[in-house]
Chains A and B, each alone.
Chain A
């Protein structure tokens, strides 16, 4: 549905993005959870602040002119630096919802929503606006001014205003960042339902992993002006291609190791002084690889529990911990051979109820088991993954960047 190649250089920042929407890649279509038709896909641009997410949206909408590249929307070229094409924003039919909504303060809610409806008869405009307000659960607010609305209502007005023009692509810039928790959760569900219902391809920007995971058909992980990986949420989170992606998606246990042996049922990787059993990893023995162990998938076992056939059983003690209220993060130091030097070897995330049930607060010494499936083996450090599925744009001009 859209096809982007954008290059833009700003003082101290370089954006180089390539993204293909409405993927023809059959391996993705076969994933049942993602068997949505092209028009319904919601792509999340996910990355830390300053990674170029908003700039990407602005380039697509035509608000910022890329230095080079090509933007194709619905088969129509909106921008092509080589061909000298640069369609102005008002002709692109791209809906854009700003982070703080940017509602017209001098217009009522109804006038805001009707703003983009061209020359149509008055009753026609009214009926379109009324049905859109009903769809967004904003009935009865048509005569209010934006400043008389709550944040959530303002957000829905902004969405309604963009949707009435039937854009071929909807861009949402951190749409929920200014809202409180419960409102945010509610509006996320609404947006998902609405997007499925209207079938408008959507590109949403967020730096919130949970938000990206809940909403996305696929996530494009962005960092420092580059798209690092594109894929379904579970792939990006549990099978990151690089250390950088793993770090962005909450991978806190990152190691470098060497493959010792490989067999049908799995491989053995040497990490520090420990040999870890992993799933088959398509690497030759002797290869240097990076590993990510998800902190929430490490199992905590009582020391007095009878030994059994468990993957990667190790013992140690909790040297420190922090809590977010819902999740406890334990800093675990191994007794014998270490995974790495330092105060601790692993971070372990534990839901609060498990933490309480196991009495972790009183007991510091534990055994742990790391399932083979919890260890994700990536390529060698600095490894550049194949570009066919990742759509990473090679740096166009490297002479100026470090």
Chain B
């Protein structure tokens, strides 16, 4: 309760009447903060206290968990790579150019962020499913997308890639255009200017966006289970494996959940490190 101590300490330095007053006005703040902290911390603590350390590690060695973990890391990374490859030009376009339909495109990019993942899954099925808009065509060529690992990546990309595009758009938009102009007057072409000025300055934002996309992809559940199904080894990512295990093997579900908590925590630390560089206090 460092906060409480500090508040009381601050109060102690001031005259007593003010102390009373300060404590009184700050009480709701402190109570609210405590309530929220408990609410978030308690379930996380519960994950780790149910079994011992051994109980959290051993189930992870089971094939189901191993396969799910590998699939999750693979698909999340593929999703992030796709987002960076296709999202970077799009983000630059949105940040730097004025064109007809820009606002519409901007909104379209943001839409999946607020869309319920289940809706995203249904929408993907309607587009790429066997009786979907494109699905029939793909099936004729012998390409069946739904219920494959590719479908997992597609579901994740649909839901998570906009996070990268949004971050990159803001990152490019934050680069002072006069720096690019200076570069031009110094004889450096537009393409070289992008690599030497724009990209380095936007890099922390791009990195932060990529990390958030990766984390979101790793946790994707709703769109994946609807569009890709829940097949061990092919489409069963960690969240899906946890869901399945919960009905049969609580130990495994707990172990995988704990593992994801640690990964999430690491991601958060990485994100902080990446964006702190953006502010410039290296």
**Which residues of A approach B to under 8 Å, CB–CB?**
61-63, 88-96, 98, 102, 104-106, 115-116, 118, 147, 161-162, 165
Query: Please, which residues of chain B bring their CB within 8 A of the CB of A98?
Result: 178, 181-182
- Asked if B118 is at the interface (CB within 8 A of a chain A CB), the reply is no
Query: Please, which residues of chain A bring their CB within 8 A of the CB of B49?
Result: none
Structural contact, A63 and B181, CB atoms closer than 8 A: yes
A34–B269 Cα distance when bound, in Å, is: 64
User: Chain B's nearest CB lies how many Å from the CB of A154?
Assistant: 13
User: Chain B's nearest CB lies how many Å from the CB of A166?
Assistant: 10
Structural contact, A116 and B187, CB atoms closer than 8 A: yes
Structural contact, A102 and B186, CB atoms closer than 8 A: no
Structural contact, A89 and B181, CB atoms closer than 8 A: yes
Structural contact, A90 and B178, CB atoms closer than 8 A: no
| Smallest CB gap from A101: residue in B | B182
Structural contact, A104 and B179, CB atoms closer than 8 A: yes
Chain B interface residue count, CB cutoff 8 Å, equals: 18
Q: Looking at chain A's contact residues, is the secondary structure mostly helix, strand, loop, or mixed?
A: loop
Query: Please, which residues of chain B bring their CB within 8 A of the CB of A118?
Result: 187
A104-B197, A105-B201, A105-B280 are known contacts. Are A94 and B183 too (CB-CB below 8 A)?
no
Structural contact, B184 and A63, CB atoms closer than 8 A: yes
**Which residues of B approach A to under 8 Å, CB–CB?**
176, 178-179, 181-190, 196-197, 200-201, 280
Query: Please, which residues of chain B bring their CB within 8 A of the CB of A88?
Result: 184
- Could you write out 12 A-B pairs with CB less than 8 Å apart? A61-B181, A89-B181, A90-B183, A90-B184, A90-B187, A91-B187, A95-B185, A96-B181, A106-B200, A115-B183, A147-B280, A165-B187
Using a Cβ cutoff of 8 Å, how many contacts connect chains A and B?
59
| Smallest CB gap from B192: residue in A | A90
Query: Please, which residues of chain B bring their CB within 8 A of the CB of A102?
Result: 176, 178-179, 181-182
Most buried by A among B181, B187, B190: B187
User: Chain A's nearest CB lies how many Å from the CB of B175?
Assistant: 10
Query: Please, which residues of chain A bring their CB within 8 A of the CB of B182?
Result: 96, 98, 102, 104, 161
Structural contact, B188 and A116, CB atoms closer than 8 A: yes
* Nearest 10 CB-CB pairings of A with B: A116-B186, A89-B184, A96-B185, A102-B178, A90-B184, A106-B200, A102-B182, A90-B187, A63-B181, A89-B185
Structural contact, B189 and A90, CB atoms closer than 8 A: yes
User: Chain A's nearest CB lies how many Å from the CB of B41?
Assistant: 39
Structural contact, A90 and B280, CB atoms closer than 8 A: no
| Smallest CB gap from B282: residue in A | A145
A106–B196 Cα distance when bound, in Å, is: 10
A81–B18 Cα distance when bound, in Å, is: 73
A51–B196 Cα distance when bound, in Å, is: 34
Query: Please, which residues of chain B bring their CB within 8 A of the CB of A104?
Result: 179, 182, 197
Structural contact, B186 and A165, CB atoms closer than 8 A: yes
A93–B184 Cα distance when bound, in Å, is: 9
A104–B193 Cα distance when bound, in Å, is: 11
| Smallest CB gap from B189: residue in A | A90
Query: Please, which residues of chain A bring their CB within 8 A of the CB of B179?
Result: 102, 104
| Smallest CB gap from A147: residue in B | B280
| Smallest CB gap from A88: residue in B | B184
Most buried by A among B178, B183, B184: B184
Query: Please, which residues of chain A bring their CB within 8 A of the CB of B187?
Result: 90-91, 93, 116, 118, 165
Query: Please, which residues of chain A bring their CB within 8 A of the CB of B188?
Result: 90, 115-116
A104–B182 Cα distance when bound, in Å, is: 9
A102-B179, A104-B179 are known contacts. Are A61 and B185 too (CB-CB below 8 A)?
yes
A95–B187 Cα distance when bound, in Å, is: 9
| Smallest CB gap from A118: residue in B | B187
User: Chain A's nearest CB lies how many Å from the CB of B10?
Assistant: 33
Query: Please, which residues of chain A bring their CB within 8 A of the CB of B184?
Result: 62-63, 88-90
A116–B280 Cα distance when bound, in Å, is: 24
A98-B178, A105-B201, A106-B201 are known contacts. Are A162 and B280 too (CB-CB below 8 A)?
no
A88–B187 Cα distance when bound, in Å, is: 9
| Smallest CB gap from A98: residue in B | B178
Query: Please, which residues of chain B bring their CB within 8 A of the CB of A105?
Result: 201, 280
Query: Please, which residues of chain A bring their CB within 8 A of the CB of B190?
Result: 90
